[in-house]
A and B are shown apart, each in its own frame.
Chain A
């Protein structure tokens, strides 16, 4: 881990530098349009004349205005500083003012997304576990369910997402939590199912035979051999599963009509033309993903150590 820290930092730093350099060409045309409106002297003087000139040439011709690219209110590509400011404005600053649960605060929207992610994760993991157990114990289930589980993942869930939302509101569930949880469970059950089928089948035949010679019941074989053997597989799938659950929740928040949640903030930011809000929500979503996966990673280390299996 420490050995990797230095290269990771260097790579992150280079991404950061590329980002800052890219801001100027990305925003320069917008910046020039704005300067033109403020009666500054730019060359070529009007927007239609500039349309077909390459950004690089424009930057040479108007080099004294390059700084303006870094200070736009609605940039195509915001600077890291602008994004950081926006995140601080909608999280820390609001929390200090005691408005952490205001509708404008990303802490509130992040919490909405996190809650739905947990519901969807719980639902998806339960479905995955039940499916895996029935697949391992019943041949019919193995033959009928497994191919459909694979096909279900090749169907793009986003096509279904608006339908699930409409369906549940027609049935009388006005709360968006239920459809969001279903969408994220749909994405997250599959890695758990596949991982657990592998895990529950991981004991060797000789081990199962040994338990048979002990006259162990089916229950004992399950709880004392199969389940413990599957724990390392379980944690690996849970890590994939929680990331998938978060993606599912955000996809569930994207289609029209959502008000709460990070996905809805992205949508609203798009509709109102406030790119900074989109970028801030994206970074908070990335942060959530990182925290969730890391948490499961830590749980994995602790559990496996307790069981005597080093991760």
Chain B
């Protein structure tokens, strides 16, 4: 019985999407939001049907409905964890790392020797599994948010540094020559031409760093934390089989990650509205 429901839900969801995607009558704005939304809802309903149909134990995989009710019931716990991990750990680390990377990039950029020496090393470091330094940072800075912020600083530093340095080089000869004919000083050059031109690159780095920040803050909690925080709750929840609470935390992490990324995209659209990738198609 549930197999039939499963298949028919899938066919209905997919069918609506095919009609929506290929119809020329639907407004493109509505289509671009509606189609992925229907796809996501379909997957959630299918998940619910599988769990109910096979009567999967909630210890293995809780149904979305159970996750949502757990979420509603434990908002206070989730809020405490959110403040500890995201507000104290991830966002502070993100800000420190981003500001440091930005200013160091500007300093490096003044010297071609430093650029040639540091850029390849920075590139190499952004490919490294830096999350591994988490236990060392916990050892250095203690269990509270400071160690989490430290891991986040190291993780977000290199992608932002590399992107900013590359962005500062993104002007072309014609633009630089024009500034020269205006007798522009170094700072006029920097603020009026090169920093604006670097913005798309910088935002690219910031976007990559948003996910890094959350990963760093959560992983560092696996190595010791006060008795709150998303990583703490996830690792203890898995141990004590509170799987629905773990999924509620994952749900929070997903929303935070998406919002954080969305915030950067919004900032990018506001600041680099002139760039080709942001123009109305």
Interface residue ranges, A against B (CB under 8 Å): 3-4, 7-12, 26, 76, 139-140, 142-148, 150-151, 153-160, 162-163, 166-167, 170-171, 239-240, 243, 246-247, 250-251, 254-256, 262-263, 266-267, 269-270, 275, 278-279, 281-282, 285-286, 289-290, 293
Contact = CB atoms under 8 A, between A and B. Distances in A.
Given A140-B18, A154-B258, A289 B129 contact: yes
Contacts of B35: 140, 143-144
B47 interface: no
Contact of A159 (B31, B61, B253, B261): B253
A285 B130 CA distance: 9
Contacts of B39: 144-145, 148
A265 B238 CA distance: 21
A252 to B, nearest CB: 11
B21 A7 contact: no
A290 B231 CA distance: 29
26 contacts: A8-B116, A9-B117, A26-B140, A140-B21, A142-B21, A143-B17, A144-B21, A155-B253, A155-B254, A155-B257, A156-B214, A156-B257, A158-B219, A159-B231, A162-B235, A163-B234, A166-B60, A167-B61, A170-B59, A263-B132, A266-B135, A281-B132, A285-B128, A286-B128, A289-B124, A289-B128
A159 B120 contact: no
Given A155-B257, A159-B249, A163-B238, A282 B132 contact: yes
A163 B250 contact: yes
A251 B14 CA distance: 34
Given A12-B121, A255-B235, A144 B36 contact: yes
A198 to B, nearest CB: 12
A59 B17 CA distance: 70
A294 to B, nearest CB: 10
The range of chain B's interface size is 35 or more
Nearest to A113: B129
B36 A162 contact: no
- Secondary structure type dominating chain B contacts: helix
Contacts of A243: 127-128
B114 interface: yes
Contacts of B230: 159
Contacts of A290: 124, 127
B131 A250 contact: yes
B239 A267 contact: no
A270 B118 contact: no
A186 to B, nearest CB: 12
Nearest to A169: B60
Nearest to A11: B117
B205 to A, nearest CB: 14
B157 to A, nearest CB: 14
Contacts of B257: 154-156
A270 B223 contact: yes
Contacts of A153: 211
Given A144-B39, A159-B234, A163-B247, A254 B131 contact: yes
B117 to A, nearest CB: 3
Contacts of A142: 21
Given A167-B60, A250-B132, A151 B258 contact: yes
Contacts of B38: 144
A154 B210 contact: yes
Interface in B219-258: 219, 222-223, 230-231, 234-235, 238-239, 243, 246-247, 249-250, 253-254, 257-258
A193 to B, nearest CB: 15
Contact of B246 (A146, A162, A247, A266): A162
Contacts of A262: 132
Contacts of B189: none
B215 A266 contact: no
